[in-house]
Structure 1
């Protein structure tokens, strides 16, 4: 099945994407993050792309592999101190890092670590979440919501690995 990238218009076979080990690893990492966090996270990951070349699937999988456990833990540790990091904090921090880039405050691009994001998270407090929707919704765990798309993608990945249920 051919799919088209909404950002650049490139066409790619979904079978090739799932059959590619590193691309499949990216999909597995993304399947553990909620939808809104995926959007913010993918925008944030764009800050790791060197201007003269594209990010590889291996690099994206590694970056996501470092973030997902932190998101699921609901807290981070910086300078031997623990800070709360619920879902709303991650959404806020992604927005703040992207705003810093837009304001020219990120002097060294591409980013090489998650340090700036994690340091930004230390400044989060519940009253800083700007989204009125997140303030009115009950706290949702970082565990991904099961959707037909995720179930189908997971089934395709299991089929590609030869580990059908």
Structure 2
């Protein structure tokens, strides 16, 4: 994602959650959400590129990114939720000039808004280390989840059962 407010040299030293806790929360996300998140965070693909690569609507990519960013929050704060939605929306290829103006108005309307958005940026940065652990084997780069042996075994078993039933009744 692109840098929005924080300077590049900014380091966040205080984290609400440890890297281990963040990793555990990320692992609890649905596999597709993890995949979208890792393609964005580790491979730095744009939402449009992720949508094209995974054959998903852009709005779905945006929703998955909101879900991933939401897992990094300890508190259930409405203002933090709004800031997170803005943070993700501004990365979308579908964001309009009008929405950017609305964001700027929201950001400038109260110091708490700027603080919440700043905290969201810090949260995004804290997700890098857990993301590297989650995606270390590169599984997320596959366009579709590969068939599991268990799924094939069930399909083969059902097919054989159907053939046996047809043969039995013939």
Query: TM-score range, shorter-chain basis?
Result: under 0.3
Which structure has the greater CA radius of gyration? 2
TM-score by length of 2: 0.27
* Larger relative strand fraction: 1
TM-score by length of 1: 0.28
* Larger relative helix fraction: 2
